Chains A and B, each alone.
Chain A
Amino acid sequence: MSGGGDPKTPSESAAYKALAEQAGTYFNRYQDVFVPLENSYINSVVNIGSEDTYNRAAGAAGSAFTSAYTPELLNQQRQMLSQGIDPSSGKFQSASQNSYGKFGSAMGLGVSDSSANNTDRLFGGMTNLVKMGQGIQSEATQGQIGLAAASGKKARGAAETDFIKSQSNESVVGTGAGIVAGYGLNS
């Protein structure tokens, strides 16, 4: 930075200096205000990958599927009993096994889906962090509430589909038309 040595020639314009001053001021403010917030966000993203978060997601999904299926399972059994079908009969047991099998499968797949969703959230969060570091606009990360709502919706949809299928296949004994319709699964 020799500056040329001519005292009559300004080396930098006042506007340039002002811009540099603004950049320095912004940088200090960024360090004071935004860096702690960014680090807090980094912490939150990394914690998405904790076992606790996975367990919470799995627990919420399991509860959603239990809530969606249990009333239908009980209702199916009541229907069969009211039709005089002996619980020891092959018919009763076969229908029960079929329905509980669907419940177990749906619940297991729902729980594993919630885990995969959580890994997606972790990757989404880390991708956002990369973009944040590079000064690129980031995208919103799906929150845990959204994740739980998604599990609930899937559980209700699965229960509804399974019980409608059961009826159309006549694996639910008797004239069970309308069993599902009255149970308000379509929320």
Chain B
Amino acid sequence: MSVKTEPYGTASSNPNYNQFLSQLSNPNDVTSFYGSDGRLNNQVSDPLDVDSYMGDDDFGGQRLFADVIRRQTEDYMKRFAPIEGALASSITATGTTYLQSDLQRTREGIGGGIANAESQLSRNQERYGAVRRSSEDLSQEKTSAMVGGLNDTRARDSDRRMAVLSGGLGALGAKAREPIGGTGGGVGQG
């Protein structure tokens, strides 16, 4: 499975996004992006020194809150924003960028199924000593299945597009429009 995407918005300028897309095109290597131990390779694992904020100086709590929010946002931008970009840029005017590869698999699947049946039918006829006539191939069945299968694949791809557009991209837009002031529930809190 390869992801064919056009740069979406400003995400293309994000090196993590580009790296993610290239890795997604070769999923076996995706660990080089997220790390074999689950750590993002270029992610600085630097815990917040909570105690250092808790001294007698003023507003240590507020500074700590602010730093937590900053770190959450950085984490979200590094690990999740590229996925949002990939999902968003998979949307086309009528479906998704996965349509062509799905159609190809449908053609191969139906072609393979019919070829398998033809081969079994042929072996069977030989077993009974019957001569198979050339008019008795399964091309009609193949055409019929192919038309139905390709139509179904297109319809499913269109459904996927609708599913993404109607909520698959989450609620970041709604969150962005929320009035500032609430605490918790921010992005990146898993």
Write the residues of chain A forming the contact surface with B, with a CB cutoff of 8 angstroms.
1, 3, 11-12, 16-17, 19-21, 23-25, 27-28, 30-32, 34-40, 42-43, 46-47, 49-51, 54, 58, 62, 65-66, 73, 77, 81, 87-88, 92-93, 96-97, 100-116, 119-120, 122-123, 126-127, 129-136
Q: CB within 8 A of B145: which of A11, A50, A66, A105? A: A105
A139 to B72, CA, bound (A): 22
Q: Do B110 and A112 have beta carbons less than 8 Å apart? A: yes
Q: Is the interface of A mostly helix, strand, loop or mixed?
A: helix
Minimal beta-carbon separation of A119 from chain B (angstroms): 5
Q: Do B87 and A126 have beta carbons less than 8 Å apart? A: yes
Q: Do B117 and A129 have beta carbons less than 8 Å apart? A: no
| B98 nearest in chain A by CB position | A119
Write the residues of chain B forming the contact surface with A, with a CB cutoff of 8 angstroms.
1, 3, 23-24, 27-28, 30-31, 34-35, 37-40, 43, 45, 47-48, 50, 53-54, 58-65, 67-68, 71-72, 75-76, 79-81, 83-84, 86-87, 96, 98, 102, 105-106, 109-118, 120-121, 124-125, 128-133, 136, 138, 140-142, 144-146, 148-149, 152-153, 156-157, 160, 163-164, 168-172, 175, 185-190
Residues of A within 8 A of B128 (CB): 77, 81, 87-88, 92
Q: Do B61 and A108 have beta carbons less than 8 Å apart? A: no
Residues of B within 8 A of A105 (CB): 110, 113-114, 117, 141-142, 144-145
Residues of B within 8 A of A66 (CB): 116
Q: Do A108 and B114 have beta carbons less than 8 Å apart? A: yes
| B87 nearest in chain A by CB position | A126
Given the interface pairs A96-B121, A96-B125, A112-B105, the reply to whether A101 lies near B141 with Cβ below 8 Å is: yes
Q: Do B142 and A127 have beta carbons less than 8 Å apart? A: no
Among A34, A96, A103, A116, residue most surrounded by chain B Cβ atoms (within 10 Å):
A116
Residues of A within 8 A of B80 (CB): 129-130, 132-134
Q: Do A134 and B187 have beta carbons less than 8 Å apart? A: yes
Q: CB within 8 A of B113: which of A38, A65, A134? A: A65
Given the interface pairs A20-B62, A134-B175, A136-B170, the reply to whether A109 lies near B1 with Cβ below 8 Å is: no
Q: CB within 8 A of B163: which of A62, A102, A127? A: A127
Q: CB within 8 A of A46: which of B27, B67, B71, B149? A: B27
Q: Do B64 and A23 have beta carbons less than 8 Å apart? A: yes
Q: Do B47 and A108 have beta carbons less than 8 Å apart? A: no
Q: Do A87 and B38 have beta carbons less than 8 Å apart? A: no
| A86 nearest in chain B by CB position | B130
| B103 nearest in chain A by CB position | A112
Q: CB within 8 A of B121: which of A31, A37, A100, A131? A: A100
Q: Do A3 and B50 have beta carbons less than 8 Å apart? A: no
Q: CB within 8 A of B185: which of A11, A12, A135? A: A135
Residues of A within 8 A of B48 (CB): 24, 27-28
Residues of A within 8 A of B64 (CB): 20-21, 23-24
Given the interface pairs A39-B35, A43-B34, the reply to whether A108 lies near B87 with Cβ below 8 Å is: no
Q: Do A36 and B38 have beta carbons less than 8 Å apart? A: yes
Residues of B within 8 A of A30 (CB): 189-190
A182 to B157, CA, bound (A): 39
Q: Do B113 and A110 have beta carbons less than 8 Å apart? A: yes
